[in-house]
């Protein structure tokens, strides 16, 4: 399969995994030109097994269980799991129908999620307005700072004039009477008056005072009642926001398996031009790649009976860890058979490629990063792409309104929007203020080279991967009655092992 595929079909294949490792670690690149990659491995085998009577599932699980249980590869990850079927076969129709059902259910939930997001955004904007208004009430009741109290009271009077007096009285409002009916001092007197007693002390004629007194009394009644109602509505909408966020979390958990399964049921293995897929035939292709790794333990390795590390390594301080890597790539070409129970079994040709490597922790970190770029996530990015710009900005507001100012948010608590790829855990403010040291970002071509001790550790890791690789290949052939050959001499004799550069005989 080509390394570069279009659109959603861009996935990590067994060829590109090897090329990726060769790019990260030039040791496994046979080409002297860094722009051209000719991947190799410390040790590799290719196995072909063709049988229409034998099922493909037992082959896969036999190798997986042997790696995990017999050879002790505890850290096994699946790098690739792709498939494609001929359009004329029954398997294609059945899988396509399942994928369509998953897509429909996922998009229904996505519609509800989008509605919830819009509701949350509107609620946050309303709560912000309420906070601003409540801040004015708090300023007006501030007995310690007279300037602040005066500022808050004037702001509330302006609101009362615009939102209460003007809509209710129209031409009889203070605004209209001041500018149209000749009460030129009425508005200024209303803004200055702090209570009814202050009106009596003002130098105004009785005509203006008779209009001003009931308006001042009405304003203070409105001020008291409106504050209570506003605080009540603020708490109601904040409780509603909590329920909407909880519903958002619930629906996102429901949507995730539908979108993930719909993406995983998308056929993408092979190519339309592949001769293995004929439209009218009933055939299918499967591609699965597994990677196992074991960490090199210096203390254990130094005490081994055969081929130990030099004793000087017992006092060596590791700059980074080294791992034995085993990559097993499966390429299936099978014929789906439908059983009476409605399930499918597969028989056909399987190609298994065994490869072993020795990589350090920096190289594995970069490898994981590159694999994640091509990992499943296209369906989940649908939500992130459409809501990321707004929800990132709302995360702080959500934490503020949902948790409140007094409550402290635990560091381990997950954000309600963490499903979308942002939000995450609440950060520590003190840690945020502290200056952060820039971390060195590793990438392809920026990994430090091995020193002398690390070169020995790498070759040791390669040897510890090569022997299990051969055994896995060798014993599987025996289980199928195939011809086998004697095991190569992997181990270096223990005599004078520290004399020169530690080099296994098979390398």
The per-residue pLDDT for 498 is 36
Tell me which of 13 and 480 has the higher pLDDT. 480
Check residues 279 and 82 and name the one with the higher pLDDT: 82
Q: Which of 121-125, 247-251, 254-258 has the lowest mean pLDDT?
A: 254-258
- Tell me the per-residue pLDDT of 252-269, one tens digit each, with 9 for 90 and over: 777 777 776 666 666 665
State how far the Cα of 68 lies from the Cα of 304, in Å rounded to an integer: 22
Please identify which residue in the block is written with the tokens 């002398």: 452
Max mean pLDDT range (38-47, 311-320, 372-381): 38-47
Which band of pLDDT confidence, cut at 50, 70 and 90, is reported for residue 291? very high
Residue-wise pLDDT tens digits, 416-443? 444 444 444 444 444 444 445 545 567 7
Confidence at 147, pLDDT banded by 50, 70, 90: confident
Higher pLDDT: 427 or 119? It is 119
Tokens, residue 241 = 């926001």
Residue 390 has pLDDT above 60, yes or no: no
Q: Strand pairing partners for 353?
A: 46, 329
pLDDT surpassing 50 at residue 146: yes
Tell me what pLDDT residue 287 has.
82
Percent above pLDDT 90 for the chain? 7
Residue 331 pLDDT > 50: yes
Using only C-alpha atoms, the chain has a radius of gyration, in whole angstroms, of 36
pLDDT at residue number 37: 84
Q: Considering only residues 202 and 325, tell me which one the structure prediction assigns the higher pLDDT.
A: 325
| Rounded distance between C-alpha atoms, residue 272 and residue 270, angstroms | 7
Q: Indicate if the pLDDT at residue 414 is higher than 60.
A: no
How many whole angstroms separate alpha carbon 318 and alpha carbon 362? 13
- Taking a C-beta distance cutoff of 8 angstroms, is the pair 22, 35 a contact? no
If you count them, how many residues does the chain have? Answer: 507
Confidence of residue 13 (pLDDT cuts 50, 70, 90): very low
Is it the case that residue 499 has pLDDT exceeding 50? no
For residue 384, name the pLDDT band (cuts at 50, 70, 90): low
pLDDT over threshold 50, residue 7: no
- The model's confidence at residue 490, banded by pLDDT at 50, 70 and 90, is low
- To which H or E segment does residue 168 belong? helix 166-169
Look at residue 109 and tell me whether its pLDDT is greater than 60. yes
pLDDT higher than 60, residue 125: yes
Does residue 271 register a pLDDT over 60? Answer: no
What's the confidence (pLDDT) of residue 2?
36
Give residue-wise pLDDT tens across range 344-366.
Answer: 777 788 889 999 999 999 998 88
What is the pLDDT, as a whole number, of residue 441? 62
Q: What are 48-106's pLDDT values in tens digits? A: 888 777 777 888 899 999 999 888 888 898 887 777 777 666 667 677 777 777 778 87
Whether the pLDDT of residue 325 is over 90: the answer is: yes
**How many other CB atoms are there within 10 angstroms of residue 246's CB atom?**
12
Mean pLDDT of the chain: 75
Residue-level pLDDT at 276: 61
| pLDDT grade for 3, boundaries at 50, 70 and 90 | very low
- Supply the pLDDT for residue 195: 81
Residue 373 has pLDDT above 80, yes or no: no
CA dist 181 and 189 (Å) reads 16
- Residue 327's pLDDT is what? 93
Query: Can you tell me which residue has the tokens 């096994």?
Result: 76
Residue of 352, 333, 354 whose CA lies nearest to 469 = 354
| Predicted pLDDT at 12 | 40
Statement: residue 33 has pLDDT above 50: yes
Strands of 75-85's sheet in order across: 43-55, 344-360, 322-338, 284-295, 75-85
Mean pLDDT on 291-311 = 79
């Amino acid at each position: 399969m080509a390394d570069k595929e279009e659109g959603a079909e861009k996935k990590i294949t067994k060829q590109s995994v090897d090329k990726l490792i060769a790019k990260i670690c030039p040791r496994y690149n046979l080409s002297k030109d860094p722009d051209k990659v000719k991947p190799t491995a410390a040790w590799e085998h290719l196995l072909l097994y063709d049988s229409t009577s034998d099922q493909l599932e037992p082959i896969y699980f036999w190798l997986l269980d042997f790696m995990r249980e017999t050879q002790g590869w505890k850290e096994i990850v699946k790098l690739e799991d792709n498939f494609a079927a001929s359009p004329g076969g029954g398997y294609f129709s059945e899988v396509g129908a399942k994928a369509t059902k998953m897509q429909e259910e996922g998009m229904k939930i996505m519609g509800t999620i989008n509605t919830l997001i819009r509701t949350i955004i509107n609620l946050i904007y309303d709560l912000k307005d309420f906070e601003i208004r409540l801040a004015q009430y708090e300023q007006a009741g501030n007995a310690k700072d007279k300037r602040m109290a005066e500022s808050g009271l004037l702001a509330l009077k302006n609101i009362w004039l615009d939102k209460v007096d003007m809509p209710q009285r129209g031409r009889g409002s203070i605004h209209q009477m001041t500018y149209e009916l000749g009460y030129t001092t009425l508005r200024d007197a209303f803004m200055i008056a702090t209570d009814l007693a202050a009106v009596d002390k003002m130098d105004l004629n009785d005509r203006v005072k008779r209009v001003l007194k009931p308006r001042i009394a009405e304003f203070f009644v409105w001020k008291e009642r409106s504050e209570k109602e506003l605080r009540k509505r603020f708490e109601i909408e904040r409780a509603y926001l909590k329920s909407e966020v909880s519903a958002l979390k619930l629906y996102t958990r429901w949507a995730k398996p539908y979108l993930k399964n719909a993406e995983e049921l998308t056929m993408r293995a092979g190519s339309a031009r592949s001769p293995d897929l004929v439209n009218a035939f009933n055939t299918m292709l499967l591609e699965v790649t597994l990677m196992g790794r074991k960490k090199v333990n210096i203390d254990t390795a130094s005490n081994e009976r055969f081929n130990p590390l030099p004793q000087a390594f017992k006092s060596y301080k590791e700059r980074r860890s080294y791992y034995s890597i085993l990559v097993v790539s499966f390429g299936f070409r099978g014929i789906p058979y439908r059983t009476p129970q409605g399930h499918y079994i597969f028989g056909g040709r399987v190609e298994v490629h065994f490869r072993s490597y020795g990589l350090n922790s920096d190289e594995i970190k970069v490898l994981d990063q590159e694999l994640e770029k091509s990992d499943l996530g296209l369906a989940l990015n649908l939500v992130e792409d459409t809501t990321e710009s707004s929800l990132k900005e709302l995360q702080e507001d959500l934490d503020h309104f949902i948790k409140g100012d007094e409550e402290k948010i635990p560091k381990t608590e997950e954000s309600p929007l963490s499903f979308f790829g942002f939000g995450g855990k609440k950060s520590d403010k003190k840690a945020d203020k502290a200056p952060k040291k820039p971390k060195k970002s590793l990438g392809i071509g920026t990994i430090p080279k091995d020193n002398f001790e690390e070169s020995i550790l790498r070759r040791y890791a390669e040897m510890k991967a090569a022997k299990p690789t051969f055994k896995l290949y060798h014993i599987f052939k025996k289980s199928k009655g195939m011809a086998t050959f004697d095991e190569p001499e992997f181990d270096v004799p223990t005599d004078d092992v520290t004399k020169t550069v530690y080099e296994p005989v098979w390398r």
